[in-house]
Amino acid sequence: MIKTTATSGSRASKFGAIVRVTSGNFLEQFDFFLFGFYATYISQTFFPANSEFASLMMTFAVFGSGFLMRPLGAIVLGAYIDKVGRRKGLIVTLSIMACGTVLIALVPGYASIGIAAPILVLLGRLLQGFSAGAELGGVSVYLAEIATPRHTGFYTSWQSASQQIAIILAAALGYAINVYLSTAEIAAWGWRIPFFIGCVIIPFIFVIRRSLQETDVFKARAHHPSAGEVWQSMRDNWRTVLAGGLLASMTTTTFYLITVYTPTFGRSVLHLSTADSLIVTLFVGLTNFIWLPVGGALSDRIGRRPLLLAISILCIFTAYPAMHWLAEAASFERLLAVLLYFSFFFGMYNGAMVAALTEVMPQNVRVVGFSLAFSLATAVFGGFTPAMSTFLVQTTGDKASPAYWLMFAAVCGCAATLVLYRQRRRVAVEVAVEVA
C-alpha cells in the first residue's frame, strides 16, 4: 500500500498540483492522436507507395515504432525520476517530448526532401516514445503520492482523464478543419495546423510544470536508488513487471482502438464520413473523461481486483458481437454506440488499473517499474493496435476482426489480475507470519 501525504492541505492546491503534473500527458496524447487521425494524409505526404494499404501500414509502423522506444525510456528516464525526484524528471520528459512534436510538425514532405522526410518523422516519433516511456509512470506515481488516504484510485485516474481533454480538443480541431478546408487543402497543408497548435502550447505547459512541487513522500525517502540498484530491482521483480505489462494490455489496446484507430476505421473500413468519425471520437473522449474517475473511485470502494476482472470478462464475451453488429450495417449511430460501449470498458478498467499498477511495484523503484510495465504493454499491444487492426481487416476480410485483438488483450488483463493479486496475498501472509 502506498503511504500518501499531501503537498498542501487545501483542495485548491491539490487541484492545482493535478493540473500541473498532468499537463504533459495532455501534450503527449494530443500529438499521438493527431498522428493516428491524420494517418491517411501523413502516409501520402511522407510514405508514398503503390497502394493505400502499403502506405498506411508504413505510417502505422512508424507510429508503432515510437512505442518500441518506451521500454528504453521507462528504464533510463524512470530511473532518473526515481533518483532526482518527480518534478525535475518530469520537466526532462516534457523537454524531449516537445522536441519530437516540433520535429514532426515542421518536416517537409517526401516530394521536397526525399527519403530524409520519413527518416525525420521516424526520429520525431522515437523521441516522443522515449519521453513517453517515463512520462505516464512519473505522473501516475506523483498522483498516487499526493492522494489522500483511500482515494488513490480517484487521484491516479486523472492521469488518463487529462489525455481525454487532448482527444476532445484534437477531434474538435479536426472537425473545424474538415468543415472549412477542402480535402485537397487538408492533404496539402491543412493536416499540419493542429500540430502547429501543439507547438504553440508547449511553452505554456513548461511554465505550468515548472511550478510543480516535489511530493512529501519522495522528500521523506532517505535513500534514492543508483542505476545499478534499479537494474538489480528490475531483475529481482521481473515477474511483477511482466504481469504488470499484461495487466495494462487491456487498457492500451482499448484506448488506441477507440481513439487513434477510430477515424481511419470509420473512413477506410466502414466508409463513413470524416465528420462522423470525428464526432464519434469527440464523444468517446468525453465519456472516457467521465468513466475514468468513476472507475478509480469505485475501485477505492470495492477493490481493484473485482473491477478489473469484471470488465475483462465482459470484454471477452461481448467485444466481437458488438463489432459484428456495427460492421453488418455500418452507420454513425452504430459506430457511436459501439465506441461508447468500449469507452465504458476503458474508463472503468483503467480507473482501477493505474492505481493497481502503482501499488504492486517496489516503492524505491516505483516510477521505473510502473513505466517499464506500461511501456511493454504499449509497445506490444496498444501502439500496434492500428497496424494490427488494419492487418486483420485486410487479411480476413472481416470488418469486425479488430475485436479479436481486443479480446486477446482482455484475456491477458484477466490472467494478470489473477496472478498479481494472488502474489500480493501470498506476500501479505508471509509478512504476517514473520511479524507473528
Question: What angle is formed at CA 384 by the lines to CA 381 and CA 389, rounded to 5 degrees?
Answer: 100
pLDDT score at 11: 61
The segments of the chain whose pLDDT lies below 70 read 1-12, 36, 426-436
Note the pLDDT tens digit of each residue in 392-436: 999 999 999 999 999 999 999 999 999 999 887 765 554 444 444
pLDDT for residue 427:
57
Cell digits of residue 66: 515510437
State residue 12's pLDDT score: 60
- Structural domains of the chain, with CATH: 11-209+225-435 (1.20.1250.20)
Measure the CA–CA gap between 168 and 279, rounded to whole angstroms. Answer: 9
pLDDT of residue 5: 45
Side-chain-facing half-sphere of 358: CA atoms under 13 Å? 30
Amino acid at 150: R
pLDDT at res. 348: 96
Yes or no: say if 406 and 326 are a contact pair by the CB < 8 Å rule.
no
DSSP labels, 106-168: HPPPHHHHTTHHHHHHHHHHHHHHHHHHHHHHHHHHHHHHHPPTT-HHHHHHHHHHHHHHHHH
Q: Which residues are CB-neighbours of 338 under 8 A, at least 6 positions away?
A: 322, 323, 325, 326
Look at residue 413 in the predicted model and tell me its pLDDT: 96
Task: Check: CB of residue 59 under 8 Å from CB of residue 384.
Answer: no
Tell how far CA 224 is from the center of its chain.
Answer: 27
Exposure letters 246-255 (e unless 16+ CB within 10 A, then b): bbbbbbbbbb
How many other C-beta atoms are found inside a 10 Å radius of the C-beta of residue 361? Answer: 24
Instruction: Tell me the three cell numbers of residue 363.
Output: 516503492
Round to whole Å and give the CA distance between 278 and 265: 11
pLDDT value of residue 415: 96
CA atoms within 13 A on the CB side of 52: 9
Burial letters 7-41, b for 16+ CB under 10 A, else e? beeeeeebebbbebbbbbbbbbbbbbbbbbbbbbb
The whole-number pLDDT of residue 310 equals 97
Burial (0-12, 13-18, 19+ Cβ within 10 Å), 211 = exposed
pTM: 0.81
Segment (H or E) for 105: helix 86-106
Q: Are the C-beta atoms of residues 237 and 227 closer than 8 Å to each other?
A: no
Task: Give the model's pLDDT for residue 229.
Answer: 79
Q: To which H or E segment does residue 90 belong?
A: helix 86-106
Could you give the 3-state DSSP secondary structure of residue 427?
helix
